[in-house]
Structure 1
Amino acid sequence: MSKKLLLSCLAAVLVFTAACSKDNKNNGSEASSSAVSSSPTASESAPASEPASEAPKDKVTFSYFLGVANAPDVNTNETTIGKVLEDQTGVNFKIEHLVGDLKAKIGTMIASNDYPDVINPDAGIDQLLDAGAFIDLTDMIEKYPNIKRVYGPYLSQMKAADGKIYFIPFSNVVGGYTADPNINQGAFWIQRRVLKEAGYPKIKTLEEYMNLIEEFVAKHKDENLTGLVTLTHDWRFFATSNVPMHLDGYPNDGNVEVDMSTFEAKTYYTTDSTKNWLQKLNDFNAKGLFDKASFVDNYDQYLAKLSSKKVVGFFDYGWQTGNARNLLTDAARQDPTQDDFVYQPMPLTWDGSKDQLQDPPGFVKNRGIGISVSAKDPERIMEYWDNLLKEENQVLRSWGIKGETYEVDDKGRFLRTAEQIAKIDEPFNLKFGFRYYAWDWPQYGTNSTLADGNALAPGYQPEVFQMSLTDADKMILEKYGVKTYAELFADPDERVWFPAWGIPKAQGSPEQIWETTKDEITKKFYPKLVLAKPADFDKVWDEYLTAFGKIDTAGYEKWYTEQIKAAIEAAK
């Protein structure tokens, strides 16, 4: 199911870029490290943020494996942010991003018993925990005041079944909770030109959405358009399989929908909702409107198609598609006529009732970054993380450098000028380091608030959000009677257990085995169901139900219901 938050995202995920998109990256500009020390930040009024013991003078490079493919490999000291942090600590990280299959990559590490110094394995974290690949951080955390300050309220939730802490998550909220004005979570995306040509209709159902796409493609046959694509590569398969849950009016709790009255957890893989979703894709495929390659394309190929201007619509999470959408919004900022190809997020359900596509506040406990048993100097890595968690460095990694990437007005509010916003694009985010430090490190969670009241994430600061909007953005928001993209979507209901997919499961447990088997079944049958002749769909669906009926779904639902209710009791 959904991996990086979300939250996030993920999260992804701290900024709203010059193109009104913030997924998995921040905004910034080129600046010298000397400017940082003189930049006033929220740290002056922050809670105690004592420095860790002084780092050794010699420089050292640690290896860091990141189990996602969201940026080129890099030495952090080749970025502006990373160089500042190296000057402070003497530490550089050589980041290697995932290429190929995640489980295979991690399996190779385990077989050789030779690991990078630091690992953020994303969906592969259970493999590494089971192999004993991470060191215990429990006692070490006590030595580092900033880590303890930032993660103190969450330490009990970070413990494994044996009472030890093996990794540090990313979604912890520090200070107040700041809502996201943009869409970083789930949405049904559609090219703006489709809405413009149709007179900006307020579509609320999947039926209306797919009809709109079908009509547009029929009117533009000479453009060789693809009506709809879905993402199925590796662990990202959830971008296709999660859709029925959202159409039912639920947020991304993973494999279950939780009834808000009884708090019973139920899976949805064999429901009419899932059947109807797959049948809609089957119908689109029969009409030549669905991209068959959706079931074989890797993540990079998927992103390339989204940025090609040929794909009319898709469902996915903002944090997962930001790299592609940012290219389109950057182009539209340079040439307003290109705004036609920017994707607009829409909140849909089966019947047009209240959606829950936006995540409520939550804490993801089963993803994070850990220090491996092969690490050369764990204490020095912890010192780097502790230094990174000083509030002035959280400002650096999210806002950048005063006078270069942000300003402070006479009321102490952080903002960005039009010039600063204009120069912030994809290449800039890479060079400055905002992309590399937006997620995947011990950090203030994206929705956090700084000690002086400013939002941690620039895109969540109202002044920056409004300044970042182009005339075309403002126009389409006005057409729909809102001032932010989030206002198009319903406010999320409070769910103290959220996200349910973040509740840890022991490797080899019945719940973990159920999920593994479920993945095998859905990845085998979903392509068959979508690509089948329409007359054969029901036959293949029956075969699918037979295969699914062989796993203990009732036991899985019972376990989840117990976990949900326990979380509710603990929150009282």
Structure 2
Amino acid sequence: MKVLKKRIVSGLVIMCMVVTMLSGCKKSATKDEVTTTDSKETSQTADGTTQKAETETKEDLKPMTFTFYNADGTKEDPWTDPVAQEITKQTGIKINQDFPVDGDDQRVSLMIASEEYPDLIFAKDDVDALISAGALIDMTELIDQYGPNIKALYGEEYGKLRYTQDDPAIYQLCSAGVGQTSYTTSGTAQLQFAVLEANNYEIPKTLEQYEKMIKDYMAANPQIDGLDTIGFTLSCSDWHWLITLANPSGFIANASPDNGQWIVDDANNYQATYKHTATGQKEYYQWLNRMYLEGVLDPDFATQTHDDYIAKISTGRVLGLLDADWDYRDAETVLRADGKSDRTYAGLPVTMNADQKAASLKNQGLTVGWGIGITKACKDPVRAIKFLDWLCSDEAQVLINWGIKDVNYFIDDEGHRYRKDEEIKKSQEDPDYKYKSGIGIHNYPWPIHGDGVVDSTGSTYTTNSKDAVISNYTEAQKKAKEAWGVELLTDIFPQANEFEIPNYAPVYKQNLTDEFNTYATKLDEIAWSGLISCVMAKEGEFDTAWDKMQKDFKAAGVDKANGLLTGLIQKQVEFWSSGN
């Protein structure tokens, strides 16, 4: 995160947004350059009917390319895959995607400084700066006019798209799956199926049990396929430290759901605490330090690149992970392709103590904060909102999730979609499958239904239905499922209905104030280096390293940050509870 400008929306910017919604204005466009469909005159046919609908359809399909900045993009999208081509066929729209290069996190700041914006943008946690600069238009009236599919997709949670109680504009369409049901999870910690099998599929539920299984297997198997066995490893040389070093501590030590670097006590008036100052955190990092000193934790955890991390996992010699499944998915694809499904990982409900309740399946509601916005430079906001609305339609949702009918999926006698085994195998084992097929490229960060949501045919919008997940289990997963006597591997976890859905968005995706972000950025800087120092501390020196980090947190204003975030969450709870 960066230090953001103060939120100032001037009267001029508000006037521009109004003009934008009426005429599709842009920073350097004349009225004649803007394509809108409503201004077209109608003409009558011989029988007295009008041709306006046909004219509008032609205008809607007029070729147009929107520039799009994707803060989570990692490679160029040439927009030539079958799904992209079908999107263009149905809408006339092509997307020219730009993305950060070599980890550059200053792109949005440069856009604001130069006032040069793409048509569409996914800015992640930089969106607050864009809004402060007046760079995003309020989509509310455009959605009212042209967005029935948008409203239908978000349903009862549509009001949560509004920015704040003080500024209830809709600047973004949330990028998270709406109505998500979790049929899979990486849990709080992961362990190879081979290790579980060697332990008669006993489910480790505490760190002590998890540690013992890893150590016993290492002792019995000092090498795997000719390479030294590694107990577990982390990725900490870049932003992945948040995912592998920081996040697991909240899940395991505090049985907390994902609120980024914060723990929120819903029962105590939403009191927020910077995670690495909370009770239980010291004990978790003491455990990591002991694992490091004993050679169970990979000695290269702090310096290896993320590519090194994935390559190491891909060999099959890393027994455990403390990570999110999306972060090591590429490695598992390689392992399955090599016929090593037993070297892939089971997500487990591991906590510090047996009486804690792992919150891996907790439904946290609509994770607003990150999403797609239309900038004031957009060449045609009306066309843009119509494109976004089409993406929210059933037709588009099936296309981006399932691919091309009679190629990637088929319809059975009951009218339900299904994939053939060959297609499933390719999706699981070919690292380039999504780029060849287009499936899985165009669903994030665009608006999308979550797993488990069904359409009018009774089929799920995504390929991850309960039945599909079960039928697609690998041999290793099937063995574990049978040994555990469950339908889904996630049945070993506390279920979603055992938790209340919070009335605020997960903190890591919220748009927060400049003042708070300044504190949070400094705290994270301290934590990144400080936690690594604690884990790598020599024997007898852990307490000194930990105490220094805590003092640094205090000096950086952690108490002030806790109070600010608590107030912001309380305000969002009040806003959402009011029905917007």
Give TM-score, length-normalised by structure 2: 0.80
The whole-number CA distance in structure 2 between the counterparts of 1:100 and 1:293 is 22
Matched, 1:196 2:203: no
2:83 corresponds in structure 1 to: 81
1:371 corresponds in structure 2 to: 374
1:242 corresponds in structure 2 to: 247
Instruction: Please tell me the residue identity of whatever aligns with 1:228.
Output: F
Is the Cα contact below 8 Å between 1:217 and 1:227 reproduced in 2? yes
The whole-number CA distance in structure 2 between the counterparts of 1:380 and 1:499 is 30
Instruction: For 1:469-484, list aligned pairs within 5 A.
Output: 469-484=473-488
SS of the residue 1:490 aligns to: coil
2:19 corresponds in structure 1 to: none
1:63 corresponds in structure 2 to: 67
Map Cα deviations across residues 325-344 of structure 1 (whole Å, 9 max, x no partner). 2332343xxx3xx1221111
2:22 corresponds in structure 1 to: none
The whole-number CA distance in structure 2 between the counterparts of 1:131 and 1:236 is 29
Could you say if the C-alpha distance between residues 404 and 521 of structure 1 is closer, same or farther in structure 2, counting changes exceeding 3 Å? Answer: same
**Deviation at residue 197 of structure 1 after TM alignment:** 2.5
Matched, 1:559 2:562: no
Could you say if the C-alpha distance between residues 103 and 182 of structure 1 is closer, same or farther in structure 2, counting changes exceeding 3 Å? Answer: same
Map Cα deviations across residues 41-85 of structure 1 (whole Å, 9 max, x no partner). xxxxxxxxxx98654554233222221255x31122x11111001
SS of the residue 1:215 aligns to: helix
1:94 corresponds in structure 2 to: 96
Task: Find the partner of 2:326 among 319, 327, 349.
Answer: 319
Deviating more after overlay: 474-483 vs 561-570? 561-570
SS of the residue 2:296 aligns to: coil
Task: Find the partner of 2:263 among 246, 257, 262.
Answer: 257
2:140 corresponds in structure 1 to: 138
Matched, 1:304 2:308: no
1:437 corresponds in structure 2 to: 442
Instruction: Please tell me the residue identity of whatever aligns with 2:469.
Output: F
The whole-number CA distance in structure 2 between the counterparts of 1:557 and 1:507 is 9
Could you say if the C-alpha distance between residues 187 and 567 of structure 1 is closer, same or farther in structure 2, counting changes exceeding 3 Å? Answer: farther
Identity of aligned residues (%): 26
Instruction: For 1:382-531, list aligned pairs within 5 A.
Output: 382-424=385-427, 425-462=430-467, 464-492=468-496, 493-501=499-507, 504-509=510-515, 511-531=516-536
Higher relative contact order (Cα pairs below 8 Å, separated by 6+ residues): 1
Is the Cα contact below 8 Å between 1:231 and 1:294 reproduced in 2? yes
2:342 corresponds in structure 1 to: 340
Is the Cα contact below 8 Å between 1:192 and 1:343 reproduced in 2? yes
SS of the residue 1:316 aligns to: coil
Could you say if the C-alpha distance between residues 470 and 103 of structure 1 is closer, same or farther in structure 2, counting changes exceeding 3 Å? Answer: closer
Instruction: Please tell me the residue identity of whatever aligns with 1:473.
Output: Q
Map Cα deviations across residues 411-453 of structure 1 (whole Å, 9 max, x no partner). 3333233233233343222211112123211222344321333
1:45 corresponds in structure 2 to: none
Instruction: Please tell me the residue identity of whatever aligns with 2:375.
Output: S
Task: Find the partner of 1:547 among 528, 546, 552.
Answer: 552
Matched, 1:171 2:171: no
Could you say if the C-alpha distance between residues 561 and 68 of structure 1 is closer, same or farther in structure 2, counting changes exceeding 3 Å? Answer: closer
1:40 corresponds in structure 2 to: none
Give TM-score, length-normalised by structure 1: 0.81
Is the Cα contact below 8 Å between 2:176 and 2:445 reproduced in 1? no
The whole-number CA distance in structure 2 between the counterparts of 1:409 and 1:496 is 39
SS of the residue 1:451 aligns to: coil
The whole-number CA distance in structure 2 between the counterparts of 1:556 and 1:534 is 37
Is the Cα contact below 8 Å between 2:182 and 2:361 reproduced in 1? no
1:273 corresponds in structure 2 to: 280
Could you say if the C-alpha distance between residues 305 and 107 of structure 1 is closer, same or farther in structure 2, counting changes exceeding 3 Å? Answer: farther
Could you say if the C-alpha distance between residues 306 and 375 of structure 1 is closer, same or farther in structure 2, counting changes exceeding 3 Å? Answer: farther
Paired residue total: 510
The whole-number CA distance in structure 1 between the counterparts of 2:386 and 2:492 is 43
1:126 corresponds in structure 2 to: 128
SS of the residue 1:143 aligns to: helix
RMSD of aligned C-alpha atoms? Answer: 2.8
SS of the residue 2:310 aligns to: helix
Instruction: Please tell me the residue identity of whatever aligns with 1:303.
Output: I
Instruction: Please tell me the residue identity of whatever aligns with 1:189.
Output: Q
2:35 corresponds in structure 1 to: none
Map Cα deviations across residues 380-423 of structure 1 (whole Å, 9 max, x no partner). 32222222222112111112233322233333333233233233
Matched, 1:208 2:213: no
Could you say if the C-alpha distance between residues 407 and 448 of structure 1 is closer, same or farther in structure 2, counting changes exceeding 3 Å? Answer: same
Unaligned segments of structure 1, at least 5 residues: 2-50
**Deviation at residue 86 of structure 1 after TM alignment:** 0.7
